Amino acid sequence: MNPALSVKGLTASIASKEILNGLDLEVPFGEVHAIMGPNGSGKSTLCHVLTGKEGYEVAGSALLDGVEILDLPVDERARLGLLQSFQYPTEVPGVRLRDFVYEAAVAHGVSPEEAEARIDKEAARFGVERFLDRSLNDDLSGGEKKRSEIFQMAVLRPKMALLDEIDSGLDIDAVRQVAEAVEEMRSPEMGTLMITHYSRILRYMTPDRIHVMIDGRIVDSGERELADELEAGGYESVRQRLGLTRPAVAAERRPSEFFTETPFDV
């Protein structure tokens, strides 16, 4: 059986700046993997390159259930079963969440009746009824936006879910709710990639594998113990253990980015 997602030698640059640096990754169906990496390591870029956003120079390979997707347009990748939950979901005034997810489900080949039934069921399950008939992501709290993303995912049932910082900007109760939702969505028909720079969400869920991403590459993969190492010693500990030097560009980063270097929830 194919893995849900298999990425090999993925490189991406924008404005001749290399951001992804030969990235390899495999997520089997039924599993939840976590990618942890400091701010600026390229996590969102990875999500957008896989989703198919324009503007990147991309090379390498990404197979979704065995199908090469890097040459396909954004919507086709989505209909093949790739779905990203955005770190910053876009506000779209005047487009109701209900209408949007309905159109998306129909575009996925779901029958109109089934689409409506799924919308009702998942809206109740993820508590989005309050803003189901309001503009997409407009005027929502951070937590509501993430719930909206998970709700859409539950309706569209992707083969591969990319969850970009689904835990950021949330208070601790909301983080727990999101973690529970991700665990609840776990299914043999789906692979999940959970991207974060905090380890706190891992207190409420058990990924099958944890990958550490630094400077556009996966530098280490492991299980629970890797999360524990990060929680205790930060990315610095992983860097030292692997003999990775800090990149020269670090000096260019804004001071605020250094404060988030440690994966602790401060």
Partner 1 sequence: MEAAFEVFSKLEEPTGAEEDWRYVEYNLPFSRLAPVGEPGSPVPPGPFVGAIEATSGKALIVDGTVVESSSDQLVVRRLVDIEPERLLNRVPVDHNKLAAAHAAFAHDGLFLDVPEGAVVENPFLIDLQGVTPGAASFPHISVRVGERAEASVIVVYRSAPGESLLMVPQIHLELGQGANLRFLSLQNLDHAATTVTHQRVVLGRDATARIGEVGLGGDFARLDLAVELEGDGSSAETVGLYFGEGTQTLDYRMVIRHAGKHTSSDVFLKGAVEDESQSVFTGLLRIEKDAVGTSTFETNRNLVLSEGAKANSVPNLEILCDDVVCGHGSSVGPPDEESLYYLQSRGLPLPTAERLLIKGFFQEVIDRLPIGGMEEPIADEVFRRFVAHQSEGQVA
Residues 156-175 that bind partner 1 (CB under 8 A): 156
Could you say whether residue 19 binds ligand ADP (CB under 6 A)? Answer: yes
Residue number with CB closer to ligand ADP (176 or 253): 253
Residues contributing to the site for Mg ion (CB under 5 A): 43-44, 87
CA 35 to chain centre: 9
- Interface residue with partner 1 among 108, 125, 134, 203 (CB under 8 A) is 108
89 binds partner 1 (CB under 8 A): yes
* 152 interface partner picked from ligand ADP, partner 1, Mg ion, none, CB below 5 to 8 A per type: partner 1
Residue nearer to partner 1 on the CB measure, 48 or 209: 48
The identity of residue 230, as a single letter, is L
Residue-wise DSSP of the chain: ---SEEEEEEEEEETTEEEEEEEEEEE-TT-EEEEE--TTSSHHHHHHHHHT-TT-EEEEEEEETTEE-TTS-HHHHHHHTEEEE-SSPPPEEEEEHHHHHHHHHHHTT--HHHHHHHHHHHHHHHT-HHHHTSEETTT--HHHHHHHHHHHHHHH--SEEEEESTTTT--HHHHHHHHHHHHHH--TT-EEEEEES-SGGGGS---SEEEEEETTEEEEEESHHHHHHHHHHHHHHHHHHHTPPPPGGGGGS-HHHHHTSS-S--
Whole-number minimum distance, CB 233 to ligand ADP, in Å?
Answer: 20
- In angstroms, what is the minimal distance from the CB of 131 to ligand ADP? 26
The stretch among 25-33, 98-106, 163-171, 224-232 that binds partner 1 (CB under 8 A) is 98-106
Site string for partner 1, 44-63 (x = CB under 8 A): -------xxxx---------
3-state SS track over 104-124: HHHHCCCCHHHHHHHHHHHHH
134 sits near partner 1 (criterion: CB under 8 A): no
Shortest distance (Å) from residue 55 CB to ligand ADP? 7
Among 21, 41, 152, 177, binds partner 1 (CB under 8 A): 152
Q: Are 112 and 155 in contact (CB under 8 A)?
A: no
Which residues are 147's β-sheet partners?
A: none
Task: Give the number of other CB atoms < 10 A from CB of residue 166.
Answer: 27
Q: State the minimum distance, in angstroms, from the CB of residue 216 to ligand ADP.
A: 7
43, 118, 145, 159: which one binds ligand ADP (CB under 6 A):
43
Q: Residue 11 binds what, of ligand ADP, Mg ion, partner 1, none (CB under 5 to 8 Å, by partner type)? A: none
> Which residues contact ligand ADP by CB under 6 A?
14-15, 17, 19, 37, 39-45
> Which residues contact partner 1 by CB under 8 A?
51-54, 73-75, 78-79, 83-84, 86, 89-90, 92-95, 99-101, 103-104, 107-108, 135-136, 152, 156
